[in-house]
Chain A
Amino acid sequence: MKKAIAFWGILMKDMKTYYLKPPNISWGIIFPVSWTLMFFLRSSIEVDIRGILPGVMALSILFGTTSMLAVTITFERRSRSFERLLLAPISLKLLMLAKTSGAIFFGLVNAFIPVLFASFFISLQGIQWLPLFFAVLLIAVTSTFLGLFIAVAVNEVFEAQTFSNFFRFPMMFLCGLFIPVQALPLFLQPVSFVLPLTYGVDILKNAINGDGFMSFGISLPILLGFGLVLFFLSTRNIQKKWIY
């Protein structure tokens, strides 16, 4: 019970101080709209909204969660308020789960804003909602833990942003969003398969348009595996770097 109270307290504090702030709410709306507009300008004729929906959803989650978590944790480390959490009588794993839950929730909300917009223009019939929800959840989890991994590696807020882009941009171009993985040069294809977003995007494509190239049974466990590995690596690094 005490652990649940602490977990809920940290989650609610983060929601109040970071995720429910007006700039972040507007980010959640502006980001998917800008991506949709970008695709529209690129096609110059008309946008296949359903076709671009998996990409816009995946990028909304990736950019939202990695930025928020890496920045908030680095900021709290700088202001030493993170020490307060490390000194609380809760385990490091529970603490980090509580810290990341807010970002995961933020990612979930970010993912469904493009879906909401799309519903005004196209029919959403035929979408497999359950796999879609799991894909969104697991992309949010892996992206958040990637943000955590980045936060542990840097000391300054600006470094967190720079370092995030080091991971995000290659992932964006190699995960099959713009160019299908099978159409990538042969030497780049193995790189695609070590990126968690490749599996997330594939599930989203399958769930929305039925044009993914792996089955849910393969992509979902792999994505889950990425999430677990990133979480354990990050908590191990925190133990080594911050409780030295």
Chain B
Amino acid sequence: MVEVTNLCKKFNSFEAVRGVSFSIQKGEIFGFLGPNGAGKTTTINMMTGLTLPSSGNIKIAGFDGIREIKKVQGNIGIVPDESNLYDELSGRDNLMFCASLYGMEKAKREVRTQMLLKQFGLDQTGKKLFKHFSKGMKRKLTIAAGIIHEPKILFLDEPTTGIDVESARQIRQLIQDLNAQGCTIFLTTHYIEEAERLCDRIGFIVDGQMVALGNLDELMGEVQKEHQMIFTFEQGTHSLEKSMSQSFPELSVYRINEHSIRISSDEKISLMPIMKFLEQEKVLPREARIMKPSLEDVFIKITGIGLDKMKKEKEGKKK
């Protein structure tokens, strides 16, 4: 369905994307993850026709993504990271307009609009202006606009960032429903647990290069051998990371946030010496948990970036 080969993009002397290659099978949910500025958006823009590649090939739905971009655009749906529908139009009129861009006839537009408003739980708000929608409703309508023409592939850029928990849950369910109906999905997200739950395969991009690609088991193989524990404290952990690393050089110590640290090792972690050390330091933990490695660990291992920091950066940018 999608074949990207050796894709590169240069902005003057800066190489934003460097030889990215991957393929996506029909009916797959493909996650595309990476830290801010890694080249995710540039890659999506090249695949959807908003940016011209410097070199490389793209094939989508059987069409050349560079020479036949208008044919490609007829087969894809795009949901950007910010809802970009028209404030002065109602939910219904926004969908009707988006359908007209794909040349759908009026009768078909009406039916499809009604159907999507109902499917997305927006049928009661169809006449309300878009500017009066809540954030969650805006995201849902933007997704509905992305699939109004029944695309073969849907590009979803950060679909649940910045919205409430319930709306995010509904959107995840909608993504799964769309996929069950046969739509291939290309998903970027900062919520690793979302990618873990939804995606069949995941690609990690760092500094413009695809550094890891595979299904969950393949990616987890890297960290599955690791043993991990998380300690949560009442007080701050600022100095603890350093002193612990010095006292236990065989462990890698990572400060997750103000009150939590994670320790990991290739060997089984022995709890007693750590507890003794913490007692000496007069910082007894409130909680100590043995952790199963997750995709988040893969992400941190690959990118070296904490997810909390990345989410804050992204959400700060959106505000």
Q: A interface vs B, CB < 8 Å?
A: 1-3, 5-6, 8-10, 13, 16-17, 21, 79-81, 83-91, 243-244
For the complex, give the distance between the alpha carbons of A79 and B86 in Å: 9
B51 lies within 8 A of A244 (CB): yes
Shortest B204–chain A CB gap in Å is: 26
- Let me know if B19 is at the binding interface, CB within 8 A: no
B89 lies within 8 A of A81 (CB): no
A3 lies within 8 A of B103 (CB): yes
Q: Give B14-49 interface residues, CB cut-off 8 Å to A.
A: 48-49
B85 lies within 8 A of A81 (CB): yes
Q: Which one of B76-84, B174-182, B261-269 is at the A interface? A: B76-84
Please report whether the interface of chain A is mostly helix, strand, loop or mixed according to DSSP: helix
A87-B48 contact in complex given A5-B105, A17-B88, A80-B80, C-beta closer than 8 Å:
yes
Chain A residues with CB under 8 Å of B51's CB are 243-244
B84 lies within 8 A of A9 (CB): no
B89 lies within 8 A of A16 (CB): yes
For the complex, give the distance between the alpha carbons of A90 and B100 in Å: 11
Shortest B133–chain A CB gap in Å is: 14
B100 lies within 8 A of A9 (CB): yes
A6 lies within 8 A of B102 (CB): yes
Chain A residues with CB under 8 Å of B105's CB are 5
A87-B103 contact in complex given A13-B86, A13-B97, A80-B80, C-beta closer than 8 Å:
no
Chain B residues with CB under 8 Å of A90's CB are 70, 101
A17-B86 contact in complex given A83-B80, A88-B73, A89-B74, C-beta closer than 8 Å:
yes
A87-B100 contact in complex given A16-B89, A81-B85, C-beta closer than 8 Å:
no
Chain B residues with CB under 8 Å of A83's CB are 50, 80, 84
Shortest B232–chain A CB gap in Å is: 41
Nearest-neighbor residue (CB-CB) of B100 within chain A? A9
For the complex, give the distance between the alpha carbons of A119 and B109 in Å: 44
For the complex, give the distance between the alpha carbons of A13 and B96 in Å: 10
Residue in A3, A8, A17 whose Cβ sees the most chain B Cβ within 10 Å: A17
Q: Size range of the interface on B?
A: 20 to 34
For the complex, give the distance between the alpha carbons of A79 and B49 in Å: 19
B102 lies within 8 A of A88 (CB): yes
B86 lies within 8 A of A5 (CB): no
For the complex, give the distance between the alpha carbons of A80 and B85 in Å: 9
For the complex, give the distance between the alpha carbons of A79 and B70 in Å: 23
Please report whether the interface of chain B is mostly helix, strand, loop or mixed according to DSSP: loop
Chain A residues with CB under 8 Å of B82's CB are 80
- Let me know if B52 is at the binding interface, CB within 8 A: yes
> Given B78, B85, B97, B104, which contacts A87 in the complex, CB threshold below 8 Å?
B78
B49 lies within 8 A of A6 (CB): no
Shortest A84–chain B CB gap in Å is: 6
Nearest-neighbor residue (CB-CB) of B74 within chain A? A89
Chain B residues with CB under 8 Å of A86's CB are 49-50
For the complex, give the distance between the alpha carbons of A50 and B11 in Å: 57
B89 lies within 8 A of A80 (CB): no
Shortest A8–chain B CB gap in Å is: 7
Shortest A214–chain B CB gap in Å is: 42
> Given A9, A17, A81, A87, which contacts B73 in the complex, CB threshold below 8 Å?
A87
- Let me know if B292 is at the binding interface, CB within 8 A: no
A5-B103 contact in complex given A16-B89, A17-B88, A84-B98, C-beta closer than 8 Å:
yes
B100 lies within 8 A of A8 (CB): yes
Q: List 15 A-B contacts (CB under 8 A).
A: A1-B103, A8-B100, A16-B88, A17-B89, A21-B88, A79-B87, A83-B84, A87-B48, A88-B73, A89-B74, A89-B102, A90-B101, A243-B49, A243-B51, A244-B11
For the complex, give the distance between the alpha carbons of A83 and B88 in Å: 17
For the complex, give the distance between the alpha carbons of A6 and B148 in Å: 14
Shortest B246–chain A CB gap in Å is: 49
A89-B85 contact in complex given A6-B102, A84-B101, C-beta closer than 8 Å:
no
For the complex, give the distance between the alpha carbons of A142 and B283 in Å: 75
B101 lies within 8 A of A6 (CB): yes
